[in-house]
Each structure stands twice: as structure tokens, then as C-alpha cells.
Amino acid sequence: MATKSGPDTETSQIKSLYHIQIRGHINPERTDYFAWQCLASSFISAGETATLLTGEILDQAHLRGLLNKIWDLNFEVILVRRIKQDKPNQPNGRSIR
């Protein structure tokens, strides 16, 4: 029996590392809700705080889901930036590492 191969298989997923900056402070205990790390909270102007989150995103649907969680908690997104993307699979199906 042939094994399934294509863009929807786990080995073909290309993960990207993202930074998402939001206005306000997230308690570090709440970051497990996102399964991400809270890198830092900093002051952006008089009395305003921003929090920088970092983590891996599998695809656009995953990114949208995370942004929806942030929206549900009433945080304002200031910045979304892709920092690093995994290299795509080689033609023979093996990942480049």
C-alpha cells in the first residue's frame, strides 16, 4: 500500500517563528493559553505597556487562530512579524536540517 504524500502531511509542514507585539501586559502564567513564550513587557509611551510574544506558526490558519485568541482577550495587536522560516523539504521528501 502506498503511503500518503503531499502538502497536508506532517513532514511537509513548514514552521515559521513569529513575534507578535500587543498593547498591554500579559501575565506570564497566561502565556500557556497561547502555548508561546512571553519575551518581554516594555513601556512604549507614557503609561503604555507592550508585550512581545514569540512562537512557531505552522500555517496561515494557525496564525489566524492565535490572533483570534488575542482578540478574544481584548488585546490590541501592534505588530506581527515572521522572524524565521524552516527550510522546505528536499525533492526526495527528507527535511533539510
Residue 78 pLDDT level (bands cut at 50, 70, 90): very high
Whether 23 has a pLDDT exceeding 70, the answer reads: yes
Q: Which of 57, 50, 65 is nearest to 81 (CA)?
A: 57
Tens digit of each residue's pLDDT (9 = 90 or more) over 56-77: 888 999 999 989 988 988 999 9
Is 15-85 assigned to CATH 3.30.1300? no
The mean pLDDT of 15-40, rounded to a whole number, is: 76
CA–CA gap between residue 19 and residue 74 (Å, rounded): 18
Domain ranges of the chain: 15-85
pTM of the predicted model, to two decimals? 0.66
